[in-house]
Amino acid sequence: MREGCVLDRLSALGVDVVASLPCDRTQDLCALIPERFRSVNLTREEDGVGICAGLAMAGARSVLHMQSSGLGNSLNAIMSLTVTFGLPLPVLASWRGVYREAIPAQVPFNRAVPDVLAALGIPCTVIRGPEDEELIDAVVRDAYDSMRPHVGLILPSFWEGADEACLPERVFPARARESALDYRRTFRDPVMTRNDAIRAIAAVLDGEAVVANIGVPSKELYAARDRDLNFYMLGSYTQATPIGLGLSLATDKDVVVLDGDGSLLGTAVLPVVAAEAPENLTIVCLDNGAFGSTGNQPTPASGLVDMELLALAAGIKKTCKVQDEEELADAWENRGRGPNFIHVVLAPGNAPVPNIPLAPAEIRERFMRALGG
C-alpha cells in the first residue's frame, strides 16, 4: 500500500503533525493520516502556512499537504512568512492539471506551477512514479535542514498500480443537533484605541507567548513592552491566528494572539481553532473597524459584522466583548482555559511608534529560545 509507505517515510523523518486540505487524487492518503499523525484539517491552504510556522517555532515537525492549486492561495504567506523568517515548510502537493486531467479549471495555473515556484526561488521536486518515492524524504529533509520551503509535486501517476489501500471505516460525526443562541450585545462609542489595549495587555503579560499582527500592532507592542516571547509579524496578512494556533498545538505555554478585525475577516482559521480546541490559546481581536496599518480604511466590522458573533458561529464557545480598560482587565484576569476569544471594541487610530529595529531572523531566534522550541 503506497499510501502507508509514504506515511512510514514521514514518521521515520520525525514528522508529528500533518496540516491538510484534501485532493481527490490523494483521498486514500488523507483517510490514513489521522491514524498516524496529529491531523489539522484546514479550510484554506494559506492558513496551513501559518500553522506550520507556529509548529516549527515550538519545535514540532510538520508537513503541509494540499492540492497544487492551493499553492496559488499560499504563495504570499510562504514568501512573507516562511521565507522572510527562515522557517522550514515541506509541502506535499498533489499536482493537478498536467496528467490525465479531466477538469479544465485545473490546467491554467497548475501547468505553470514549476515555473512560478522557480521564479520565486522556492525549491520544487517532481515525484512522478513509485521509483521516485525516496524524493519525498529529500523534500522533507531539505526543508528542515535548509530552513526553507520545499514543494514536492506528486503526479497522480505516483499512485497508479499500487495495491488497494485497506482504509479505516469512515465514521462521520452525528449531524443531528440543536443550534440555539441567545445573543444580544450593545456597542458603545469606543473609548480605547488599539494602542491603549495593547499597552494594557502588555503590562500584565506573565510568561505567555504572544503573536502580534502585522504592521502597526507589532510596532505598538514593541514600544509598549518588548519581550523575547513576542513574535512580531512583518508581513503575511491573515496569518497571526494561524501562527498562534500552530504554537498552541506544540507548546504547553499559554499563547496569545493580538489579531485585528481586518485580518480575521480575511481568514478561514476560526473554525479550525474551534475544531482543534487548544486550551492554551487566547485570541484578542483588536477591532478598530479599520485597516489600521494602511490608512484606517473601514472594514465590514466598522458598522456591520460583530466579530464576537463571528467567533461563536465558527464554534468557539468562550467569547466576550470588552469596551473599556476595566472590562479588558476583567476579561484577561478571568479568561481561564480556552480557546478564548476576547473581542475588544476600539476607535481607529495608530500611535506614533517607530519601526521595530530587529531583523526577521533575530525575532525568530530569540522567540524560539524563549519558547524552548
Local confidence pLDDT in tens for the 373 residues of the chain: 789 999 999 999 999 999 999 999 999 999 999 999 999 999 999 999 999 999 999 999 999 999 999 999 999 999 999 999 999 999 999 999 999 999 999 999 999 999 999 999 999 999 999 999 999 999 999 999 999 999 999 999 999 876 665 666 777 888 998 998 999 999 999 999 999 999 999 999 999 999 999 999 999 999 999 999 999 999 899 999 999 999 999 999 999 999 999 999 999 999 999 999 999 999 999 999 999 888 889 999 999 999 999 999 999 999 999 999 999 999 999 999 999 999 999 999 999 999 999 999 999 999 999 998 5
Give a yes or no: residue 297 inside a domain.
Answer: yes
* Dist CA 106 CA 95 (whole Å): 10
**Is 35 exposed, middle or buried, given 0-12, 13-18 or 19+ CB atoms closer than 10 A?**
exposed
Does the residue 154 lie in any domain?
Answer: yes
Residue 214 lies in a domain: yes
> Is the pTM here over 0.85, yes or no?
yes
Q: Measuring CA to CA, which residue among 123, 144, 127 is closest to residue 135?
A: 127
On whether both 223 and 144 belong to a single domain, the answer is no
Q: Alpha-carbon distance 298 to 267, whole Å?
A: 17
339 is a domain residue: yes
The answer to whether residues 79 and 145 belong to one domain is yes
From 136, 159, 182, the end of a domain falls on: 159
pLDDT of residue 294: 86
CA within 13 Å, CB half, 265: 18
Identify whether 61 is part of a domain.
yes
* CA–CA dist 18, 65 (Å, integer): 7
How far is Cα 323 from Cα 343, in angstroms, rounded to an integer?
Answer: 9
Domain check: are 153 and 200 in the same one? no
212 and 325, same structural domain? yes
Three cell numbers written together for 106: 485545473
The DSSP bridge partners found for residue 330 are none
Beta carbons of 255 and 248 less than 8 angstroms apart:
yes
CB 258 within 8 A of CB 239: no
Beta bridge mates, 258: 212, 284
Q: Determine the Cα angle at 63 with ends 34 and 239, to 5°.
A: 105
User: What is the rounded CA–CA span in Å between residue 336 and residue 331?
Assistant: 9
**CATH classification of the domain holding 212:** 3.40.50.970
Are residues 104 and 205 both part of a single domain? no
pLDDT at 166: 65
| Residue at 75 is within a domain | yes
* Cell, residue 87: 522557517
Is 70 inside any structural domain? Answer: yes
* Helix and strand element counts for the chain (H, E): 16, 14
Indicate if 149 and 271 belong to the same structural domain. Answer: no
Domain of 363? 194-371
DSSP state of 126: E
Question: Distance between CA atoms of 211 and 257, rounded to whole angstroms?
Answer: 5
Return the closest-CA partner of residue 126 out of 100, 91, 151, 101.
151
Would you say residue 295 lies in a domain? yes
- Structure confidence at residue 163 (pLDDT): 63
DSSP state of 337: S
CA dihedral for 103, 107, 110, 114, sign (positive or negative): positive
CA distances from 75 to 204, 231, 288, 335 (A): 36, 21, 28, 35
pLDDT of residue 64: 98
pLDDT on residue 137: 97
**Per-residue pLDDT, 296:** 85
Nearby residues of 128 by Cβ (< 8 Å), 6 or more positions away: 155, 157, 158
For cell 485580518, what's the residue? 263
Number of domains in the chain: 2
